[in-house]
Structure 1
Amino acid sequence: MFLSPSSLIYYTTIFYLLTFAGIGYGVAGVVLGAG
């Protein structure tokens, strides 16, 4: 399956946003739980 560069950038951006959001949520949960 061929993906155009714009689609590749789009999906990569979404992936990183979801990943960083998940990490941030986990860190916030640990900080709030520990604090």
Structure 2
Amino acid sequence: MKIIYSIFQHNMLRLSSFLQMPSWEEGLERFFIETKSY
């Protein structure tokens, strides 16, 4: 469970950083690529 939680927490950090990007579409694309690597 801890591993799942840490991955989720990591994705939340990615998500919050992507929301601050000027180009949100680029951030979203990058977010999905990073998520798929798991």
Query: Normalising to structure 2: TM-score of the pair?
Result: 0.52
Unaligned runs of 5+ in 2: 24-38
Residue of structure 1 equivalent to 2:19: 28
Task: Give the count of matched residue pairs.
Answer: 23
More relative contact order, 1 or 2 (CA 8 Å, 6+ apart): 2
Separation in 1, partners of 2:7, 2:17:
15
Q: Unaligned stretches of 5+ in structure 1?
A: 1-9
% same residue: 0
TM-score, length-scaled by structure 1: 0.56
Alpha-carbon deviation of 1:24? 0.7
Higher helix share: 1
